[in-house]
Each structure stands twice: as structure tokens, then as C-alpha cells.
Amino acid sequence: MAETTFAPTTARAGGIRRRTDAARAALTRSVLLHVVMILGALAMFFPFYWTVVTSLTPGSGLGSTPSLIPADASLEAYQRLFADLPFARVVGNSLLLATVTTLAQLFTSATAAYAFSRLPFRGRTVVFGIYLATMMIPLQVLVVPLFAELRAWGLVDTYLGALLPTLAAAFGVFLLRQAMNQVPFELDEAAALDGAGHFRIFWTVILPNIRPALATLAVFAFMGSWNSFLWPLVVLRSPELQTLPVALAGLQGQYTTQWDIVMAGSVVSILPMLAIYLFAQKYVIQGVANTGLK
Amino acid sequence: MTALIGEAAAEVGAEARPAASRRRPARTPGRRSRRIRYALTVLAFLLPSAVPLLLFVLGPMVAAAWISLTEWNLLAPATWVGLDNYANLLTDPETADVFLHTLYYIVGYLPLVYVGGLAIALALNTALRGRTVLRGVYFLPVITSWIVVALVWRWLLNPSNGVVNTVLAWFGIDGPGWWTDPAWAMPSIILASAWKDLGFVMVILLAGLQAIDPELLDAARVDGAGWWRRLFSVTLPLLSPATFFVIVISLINGFQVFDQVYAMTGGGPGGATQVVVQQIYDLTFRYGRAGEASALSWLLFVVILAVTVIQIRGQRKWVNYG
Amino acid sequence: MRTTALAGVGIVAATALALTGCSAGDSSGEADGPVTITYTNFISNGGNEENLQAIVDAFEEENPDITVEVTTLPYADYGTALQTDLAAGTVSDVFDIEYANFAQYQANGVLAELDPEDPSAYRTSVLEAYQSDGTQYALPSSFSTVVLFYNADLFEAAGVETPTADWTWADEQAAAEQLTDEAAGVWGDHQPVSFYEYYKVLAQNGGEFLNEDGTAVAFNTPEGVEAAEWLVGKSGTVMPTIEDGQGTPDFDTNLFLDGKLAMLHTGIWMFGAFADVPFGWDIAVEPGNTQQASALFSNAVGVSAGSEHQEAAAAFAEYLTSSDVMVQTRLDAGWELPATSDEAALDSYLTLGNPENRQAVFDSLENVALPPVVAEGQQEMQDIMTEELVEAQAGRKSVQEALDSAEERINAAIGG
């Protein structure tokens, strides 16, 4: 096409054709990529869609073939959700615990990660290993001694009792340490030359440069607390203090389960998480602009 | 460029070392007070996390160790049995079984979830249209509870009229019994788990990818490196800290897999998917053998610790920081 | 520094544990004046919280000195929370228990001895289930039985006689075969393959699950094999197979609701769920083979042996399980059956509507098959039995092999 119109030299003709072919190949690749990603997204989205459909189908059992379009769609399940449970209270409890946990973990993880990344000391690797070791025993086994401990301090059935074990988590320390290790020491150096001590370096140099990791940790810490089941089940008993997953489990009775309400509860449970995640994504993307490389 | 960074790191390493040497015999008062100040700084940074972890994880871990030396049904006071629980566990073939099932899960799950998560992260790191929405959608399974996910996957993998077997039938393949079949139950759990956690890996790797300076990739492209080459020579090495993190965490969590097994098969059929933590849960809350459960969890701990230490030691060989 | 701290915390934790081990035993005397007792339950979960509150309110009115704090937990996880409480000594003054766990709790001394003021208010058979050596350790709050539901329309269309009280397995089998039409997706009979069904059909065939002193199983006999085959044989012939989804939650009830199942073995708790179906249905006492035996499930409340308010707790427990208020509330709400001996009160139950043959519920109480219970290894025994039976159902083992294996494994679990 190009050759006939412009009658270019052989070299240029080859060049333009190569570029057009490349452009076409790129377009095909792009379209293919879009298609694959969208198909994948549908696969990811389908269970959520099915949850919503079931929640809109009143009095539904779990049919062997869930319908794609809700029959007699109604918001009855959601209404009953708020009527049968002190749902607003329950959601409030979960929100409170999750928020405090997230803030606490951001703080405790960042400080510890700074020590493991920037403050060499004898036995540092061993101590880091001990931190990691705290992730290696399943909660199922820790629950009983932990409960006995909190009971000895009179903290059973209190917000504090539910919160204390969640204030620090090695997961966050590990995540942030990895991120901090990628911040070049040159930046520390520069700040030190300006007379900054460790606290200032931590606050003005390190933290701003690990925003994506901080945002990621915030999402996971929030999610961990929001979906946490075993510990709140065991330590919180009063209906005023119950959290969402435990309240939802309560919808499954001894003999029968009201699936439409369970699904409605699941939908309501997912939405705040999704909001937090999408909000946090902004900070993850900003990352490159703030790495301060060069 | 990487070499330059490496040099700088080495320099800084040399600078950081004097801090250690400063801690050898204090010869002058100035040195000593600096030592103390430094120690206090380290403490200040570590205490906020160390105290809760000590009190609420390490403490109960020690208590669990004590429980493992007893026989306890949770209802009556515990009775001392010394190392009997450990001896019984180590000679019981069921112990090897649960560990093998857990290993089976990990070997199937890890490659699947990493490659899948990487692929999605790479795709979403480009100028793909609607990638914000896509990022949200791919993360949805991560925040959905296993109650719902297990239900959906059991339905999808329903041997007689599930979507998967129906589609397989179009190609003339007789689909297996999936979670009702002992041979296919674990693969079913692996599939569901990898699907659910793809978003988690994606998020971590995406954060790591975002931190890679695009100029490095441009430089490589200008040097004539194709897409695969750029992936393996530039992207993956620079992504190695995030990859390291994903692998370590996935292994630690993989050895403790529980929620999905409990929700999808409860350890069945015929005990084919009984994993270590499912066994621990059963022993503690269903069979009233908390002593054995604690002993088993400490055995698991040793295994996880060993695996993690090997990885940490090995990271020097392939993980590039900065 | 770290090591010392570690040791320190470990010691604190261990001490706390040791302390809790001791605390389960001490109960001080009754305090005069207003008393607050705690009650943890699962029975009101899933829709009956208000009904429970009505009963509690009535009790508090009659007993102005006593306040009851109610905690309701999900049924599936109740065991986890309760056991944690018992381990740490924080169990409520009054708490729910299931019949299957009664023996274990009683044997471990966590239940207080009870001396109800009016034992005649209870149905004798259910009351006795919660005694040990003549002493009452828990009071039954409700009971349910398992009966045979059937789709009357399907029977009529196929020209088959509907189930009567005289039916035996043979009659059920014959009807099921006639009513099964795989091509149309209609099945004749559904009965779950599990421990809960097995001990019952075993009784229906004259067999015993455990031996005299409960130290070993006694089902590996020709009667036991026959009973197992009765259960397992339905799969694929008159009942869908596991691959078809049999065994998944709500599978059987959905099949029945869709009008695709002629007969269904399930509990009377399903009355409410089936109330609005578009076809005619009714119930009958489950047919036996050599004799009739129906499964009885019941929930009860116990008073904690370590409770500091034994009197108040016992008073509440009795009120909760035998007062007229409770009976009326339960009947009105369709909230399981109160274990009351008051036939007049129960009469209203008979005329509540579908199913018509509600008399069958009480008839089924004539011959009851109680779950076998052991002091140790109860849950394991149940899990193993169900697992082995499912192996047979799936065709991976023969029925005899499954029973042999179950015998070996269960004996090991309960004997040791």
C-alpha cells in the first residue's frame, strides 16, 4: 500500500512495511490480550455474580443449577438481614476492629521493618527468623492458650481482647522489609548528611518511598481482620460485640440454612473490602513517580 | 545500571559495618553513649511489634509446647504424658499421610498461582484499557470468603452437571469425579485455591512491577531484547524481592492450608485430602486430643521453619535488592 | 533479653493455664439478692432469637431477682466455642448441649447434678436420655424425629399405594422402584448414607451398634451388613449417586421441592420449608425390617458444674425446658417440639396443617433409636462410620469390607 502511493526507496519501503506489520502484530496482540483478560475476569467475577443472584432470589435453597437471572428478584433477603441480625451494629464492629488493626499493623510493621532493613545489630537475622516463626504455628492451636491468657487478664468479650493479638503481624514486617530493602541506601546517606537521625530518615525518606507496599499491607491487614473468624468467635460473645463473619455463620442453623440471607450477607461483606482495595490501588500506581531513583 | 547499584550497595554495606565495629570495646565515653543511643534506637523500632508478638503469639506457642507434653480433652484438667504424643505421631502412618497430602497441595498450588498471578500482573501493568476495573475484578475472589468460594467450586466441578464436566463432554472427554473422587479431590482444591489467590499474587507482583524503572526496560528494548528476553533478564530479576516474598509466604501458608479443605471436602473423601491443619483442628475440637494436636503443630512448625531457613539462606543467590 | 522475656511470657501463659485447670472446680455459695446468670445457646440460631427472648422475658418476670444474659452462637461452631470455654473455665452458667455429646460432658464432670421440681412435666423417654445412674444431668429442651416424607401426587400418578404404618423395607423398596423414572429425572427414595442413618436402620433390623458396656462395636453381623446394604443399595437405583450431587447440602430437599423425589427420609424440622409446595405431600413413620425404630434428635441444657449460681441456673434451666410459656412459644412458632408430657398442649400441634398425618410424629416416638454414645471418641466414631459407608456407596469398597474396616478403626478410637 505504502509503496505504490509514495514510491519510496527499497530500504524505506521495507522499513514502512515492517513498521505497519509490527503495528498490526501489536494490535492483534493487544486485542488477544484484552480478550483473554476479559474472559479471565468473567471467570473471576462469576462467583460474585452468582452470590448476588442467589441473594436476590427469596427463600432460595441451593439449587443444583443456580439460575443466571434471578426469578422474582427481590431485596427481601437484605431486609431480613437487617431485621434478623443487629446488622448495622455487626458491620460497625467489624469496621472498628479492622480499622484499628490496620493502623496498628502499619505502625508496628513499618517500625520493625526499618530495624531489619536499616539497623544492623548482632543476631538480627535470628530475630527476623523468630518474627517469621510466629507465622508458622496455625491459629487453631494457639486459640486455646491465647484465650486462657486473655481470660487471666479479664479481657474476654471485650474489643481490647479481640484486638490485642492482631496489633502486630510478621506478615507485614516481612512485606515492608522487602520493600525497604529496595530503597537505595544513597537516599539514607543524603539525609544523614543533612543531619537527619534514624527517626527522621524513617519518616521522610523510607516511608514515602514504600507507599505501594504500605497500601498493599493496609489492604491485606484490613482483609485479614474483616474476614477473621476463629478468634472473634472464641473471644467475643455478646451480640453487641459480634463481628460479621461470625454473625453470618449464625445464619446457618442446626438443620437448615437460609442461603439467600447468607449470600446477601456475603455481598454486603465484600463491598467495603472492595472499596478499600480500589482506594488503595491509587497509591500502588503512584509508586513509580515516588521511587526517587536518579 | 544494576552493577552501579550493586556497587553503591557494597559501599553502603561497608559504611554500615562500622556500626558493628563501633560496638566492640568502648574506648571513649563518646563511643559508649553512641552505642547506648543506637541500642535504644533499635529497641524503639522493634518494641512496638515485639511486645504484641511476644505476648500473643510466642507466649501461646510456648504454652502449646507445654500442652503437647500432655493429654488433654479440654474438658478435664490435662494429664502429663511427656514425649508420648511425639512418639505416637512419628510412628503413626497417618502422620506421614497428612504431610504428604499437604505437600501434594503445595507442589500443585504454588507454580499455578505464581505463574497465573505473574501473567495477570504483567498484563495489568501495561496500558490495558479498563485495567482499573480488571484489577478490582481479579481481586474479588481474594476478598470473598471460602464459604461462598467452596460452594461455587463444588457446583462448577459437579461431576454430573457441573460447568467443567459439561464443557469437557463437548470435546468427548468424560470428566472425572472431581471432589467426590479421592484421586481428583486434591486437584479440585488446588484449582479452587489457585483461582482464589491469583489476585493476591497479582497485587504483590504488581506493586513490585510498579517499582521497576521503565527506563531500564526501554534500555533493554533499545538494545534489541525481545519480550521474553526482557522478561527474564530485566523484569524477573528486578521482581525477585517480591517473588521471594510471594514464595516464602505461599509456602508458609500452604503448609497450613485449612479453610478451603474444611469448606470443600472436610478432609475427604476417605481422608484423601486430610491435611495437617485439618488434622490438628479435628484432634483439638472434634476428638478431644489437644495434646496430640499441639505436638503435631510443633512437628509442622519444624518443617516450615526448615523450609523457610533454606529459602532465606538461598536468597543471596537469586534475589536482587535495589 | 529476648530469651528471658520469652521464658517469662511462657511462664505466665503456663501459669494461666494451670490456674484455669484449677478454677473449673470452685463454686462459692449462693449469693442473696439479685443474681445475673449467663446462658449460651445455639438452639435459637437461624430465626428463633425472638422466641427465645420471649421465654427469657417471661422467666425474668416470674423471677425478678434473676437476670439472664443470653449469648447465641452459630450451631456449626458452637462446639469450638464451648470447648474453648470449658478449657479456660469461662463456660456460662447454663448452656446448650446436643444428645451426642452428653455422655462425654457428663463423664468429664462438667455438668452439675440437677433435681427438677417437676420431672413429670417431661416426656419420660427423652428425660431419661439425659440421666446417668438415675441422676439428672441435663434437661431436654426440644426433640425432633426423622420420618418418611412422601409426594402424594407422584404416588397417585403412578398408581402406587401410599406408605402406611405397616410398611416394611420390602414395601418401601417396591414402591421406590416403581416410582423411579430416570429418564424423567424422577427418583423413588432418598436416604442419606451416614452414621446417623446407620445406627437407626441397624435398630430397624434388630441389630445393635455397640456392645453392652460400650467398649466395642457390635454391628459387624449379618443384620448389620443387611442394614448397610439397605442404605448403600439405594444409590444409583432409586436415588441419585454421589456424582449426581447426592450428599451435598440441601440436595435431597431441593429434589423433593422440585417434585422429583417420591420419598424422603428427613426430619420434622422440614415441615416449614415444605409448607408451600405445589403438590400434595404427607408423612409416615419410617418402615423398619424386623421392627420399627425412628431416629430421635434432641437438644438439652445443662448447668455448669462450676457455676456460682447453681440454684438460679437450675431454675432457669427447668423453666426453659418445661414451662407452659416455652411450650406455647415453640408450638406457635413451629420451633421444634418441646419435650413436654402435656398431651393436651401438643394436641394443637396435630391440627396445624400440612402434613396431615402429624400423629406419625408421636407414633414414631413409640420405638426410638437413640444415637449410640461413648464417653471417649464419640466424634471419631461418627466420622469413621460415615466415611466407611460412603466408601461402600461410592463402590470403592464392598459393604463387608467397609464394616470390617469401620469395626477395626472405631474399636481403636473408643476402646483406647
Instruction: Give φ, ψ of C264 to 5 degrees.
Output: -145, 130
Taking the C-alpha atoms of residue B108 and residue B112, their distance in angstroms, rounded to an integer, is: 7
Q: Across the interface, do A136 and B304 touch by the CB < 8 Å criterion?
A: yes
Q: Is the CB of B213 inside 8 Å of chain A's CB atoms? A: yes
**CB of C287 within 8 A of CB of C361?**
no
pLDDT at B7: 32
**Is B288 part of any domain?**
yes
pLDDT at C1: 37
Contacts of C20 in chain A (CB under 8 A): 148, 151-152
Q: Across the interface, do C390 and B154 touch by the CB < 8 Å criterion?
A: no
Number of domains in chain B: 1
Gap from B183 CA to chain A (nearest CA, Å)? 23
User: What does the pLDDT average to over C246-261?
Assistant: 86
3-state DSSP of B120-143: HHHHHCCCCCCHHHHHHHHHHHHH
Q: How sure is the predictor about C32, in pLDDT bands with cuts at 50, 70 and 90?
A: low
Predicted confidence (pLDDT) per residue in A121-160, tens digit: 999 989 998 999 999 999 988 998 999 899 889 898 899 9
Residues 6+ apart with CB under 8 A from C27: C305, C306, C307, C308, C310
User: What does the pLDDT average to over B78-93?
Assistant: 92
Q: Across the interface, do B136 and A274 touch by the CB < 8 Å criterion?
A: yes
Q: C235 — alpha (psi -120 to 50), left (phi > 0) or beta?
A: beta
Residues 6+ apart with CB under 8 A from A211: A283, A284, A286, A287, A290
Environment class of C12 (CB within 10 Å of its CB; exposed 0-12, middle 13-18, buried 19+):
middle
Taking the C-alpha atoms of residue B35 and residue B26, their distance in angstroms, rounded to an integer, is: 8
Question: ipTM of this model?
Answer: 0.82
Residues 6+ apart with CB under 8 A from C64: none
Buried b (16+ CB within 10 A) or exposed e, A87-123: beebbebbbbbbebbbebbbebbbbbbbbbbbbbbee
Of A33, A170, A274, which has the smallest distance from its Cβ to B143's Cβ?
Answer: A274
Say if C12-144+297-354 and C145-295+371-414 have the same CATH topology: yes
Q: What is the pTM of this model?
A: 0.82
**CB of B45 within 8 A of CB of A115?**
yes
Q: Across the interface, do C376 and B288 touch by the CB < 8 Å criterion?
A: yes
Q: Give which of C105, C285, C256 is closest to C185, Cα–Cα.
A: C256
Contacts of B199 in chain A (CB under 8 A): 44
Q: Which fold has domain C145-295+371-414?
A: D-Maltodextrin-Binding Protein; domain 2 (3.40.190)
Cβ within 8 Å of A, C 46-105: 46-47, 49, 69, 71-77, 80-81, 84, 87-90
User: What does the pLDDT average to over C250-266?
Assistant: 89
Give residue limits of the domains in chain A: 2-44, 78-292
C-alpha cell at B221: 528494548
Give residue limits of the domains in chain C: 12-144+297-354, 145-295+371-414
Q: Which CATH number among 4.10.520.10, 3.40.1350.10, 3.40.1670.10, 1.10.3720.10 corresponds to the domain A78-292?
A: 1.10.3720.10
The residue among B75, B113, B140, B279 with the most chain A CBs within 10 A of its CB, best to mutate, is B140
DSSP string over C176-222: HHHH-BGGGTBEEEE---SHHHHHHHHHHTT--SB-TTSSSB---SH
Question: Containing domain of residue B115, as a range?
Answer: 85-318
Predicted confidence (pLDDT) per residue in C356-405, tens digit: 888 898 888 888 888 898 878 888 999 999 999 999 999 999 999 999 99
Q: CATH number, domain at B220?
A: 1.10.3720.10
Of C12, C84, C248, which has the smallest distance from its Cβ to B154's Cβ?
Answer: C248
Gap from A253 CA to chain C (nearest CA, Å)? 5
**CB of A109 within 8 A of CB of A175?**
yes
Q: Is the CB of C271 inside 8 Å of chain A's CB atoms? A: no
Environment class of C17 (CB within 10 Å of its CB; exposed 0-12, middle 13-18, buried 19+):
buried
Of A147, A246, A253, which has the smallest distance from its Cβ to C46's Cβ?
Answer: A253
C-alpha B179, offset from chain centre: 24
Cβ within 8 Å of A, C 235-254: 245, 248-251, 253-254
Q: How sure is the predictor about B77, in pLDDT bands with cuts at 50, 70 and 90?
A: confident
CB pairs below 8 Å between A and B: how many? 268
Q: Is the pLDDT of residue C314 over 90?
A: yes
Q: How sure is the predictor about B320, in pLDDT bands with cuts at 50, 70 and 90?
A: confident
Q: Across the interface, do A253 and C90 touch by the CB < 8 Å criterion?
A: no
Of C2, C72, C75, which has the smallest distance from its Cβ to A252's Cβ?
Answer: C75
Taking the C-alpha atoms of residue B64 and residue B55, their distance in angstroms, rounded to an integer, is: 13
Give the bridge partners for C282, in sequence order. C150
Give the bridge partners for C146, in sequence order. C267
Give me chain C's average pLDDT, please. 86
Q: Across the interface, do A142 and B60 touch by the CB < 8 Å criterion?
A: yes
Q: For residue C388, what is the enclosing H or E element?
A: helix C378-393
Q: Is the CB of A62 inside 8 Å of chain C's CB atoms? A: yes
Q: Give which of B169, B199, B43, A204 is closest to C5, Cα–Cα.
A: B43
Q: Across the interface, do A145 and C17 touch by the CB < 8 Å criterion?
A: yes
Q: Across the interface, do C270 and A62 touch by the CB < 8 Å criterion?
A: no
Q: Is the CB of A155 inside 8 Å of chain C's CB atoms? A: no
C-alpha cell at C322: 418445661
**Is B173 part of any domain?**
yes
Q: What number of other Cβ atoms are within 10 A of residue B163's Cβ?
A: 13
**CB of C392 within 8 A of CB of C228?**
yes
Of C2, C108, C387, which has the smallest distance from its Cβ to B268's Cβ?
Answer: C387
Contacts of B282 in chain C (CB under 8 A): 383
Gap from B63 CA to chain C (nearest CA, Å)? 6
User: What is chain A's pLDDT, residue by residue, as a tens digit (294 residues)?
Assistant: 333 444 444 445 556 666 677 788 888 888 888 888 888 888 888 878 878 888 887 765 555 455 667 767 788 888 888 887 788 889 999 999 999 999 999 999 999 999 999 999 999 989 998 999 999 999 988 998 999 899 889 898 899 999 999 999 999 999 999 889 888 999 999 999 998 889 999 999 999 988 888 988 999 999 999 988 889 988 998 888 989 888 888 777 666 677 778 888 888 888 888 888 888 877 766 543 333 332
Question: Where does C84-138 show beta strands of DSSP type E?
Answer: 94-98, 131-132, 135-136
C-alpha B79, offset from chain centre: 35
Taking the C-alpha atoms of residue C221 and residue A210, their distance in angstroms, rounded to an integer, is: 70
Q: For residue A257, what is the enclosing H or E element?
A: none
Environment class of C4 (CB within 10 Å of its CB; exposed 0-12, middle 13-18, buried 19+):
exposed
Give the bridge partners for C71, in sequence order. C40
Gap from A259 CA to chain C (nearest CA, Å)? 10
Taking the C-alpha atoms of residue A261 and residue A267, their distance in angstroms, rounded to an integer, is: 10
Contacts of B39 in chain A (CB under 8 A): 121
Q: Would the CA dihedral through C348, C352, C358, C359 be positive or negative?
A: positive
Contacts of A63 in chain C (CB under 8 A): 254
Give the bridge partners for C301, in sequence order. C96, C139
Q: Is the CB of B52 inside 8 Å of chain C's CB atoms? A: no
Superfamily of C12-144+297-354 according to CATH: Periplasmic binding protein-like II (3.40.190.10)
pLDDT at A284: 67
Q: Across the interface, do C19 and A152 touch by the CB < 8 Å criterion?
A: yes
Kindly report the length of chain C.
416
Q: How sure is the predictor about C19, in pLDDT bands with cuts at 50, 70 and 90?
A: very low
Write the CA distances from B273 to B86, B103, B196, B258, C119, integer angstroms.
23, 11, 18, 10, 48
Q: Would the CA dihedral through A152, A153, A157, A163 be positive or negative?
A: negative
Cβ within 8 Å of A, B 150-169: 151-152, 155, 158, 161
Instruction: Give φ, ψ of B224 to 5 degrees.
Output: 95, 10
**CB of C186 within 8 A of CB of C175?**
no
Of C12, C110, C247, which has the smallest distance from its Cβ to B59's Cβ?
Answer: C12
Contacts of A84 in chain C (CB under 8 A): 47, 49
Round to the nearest angstrom and report the end-to-end CA distance of chain B. Answer: 11
Taking the C-alpha atoms of residue B242 and residue A287, their distance in angstroms, rounded to an integer, is: 15
What residue has cell string 458444674?
Answer: C305
pLDDT at A290: 38
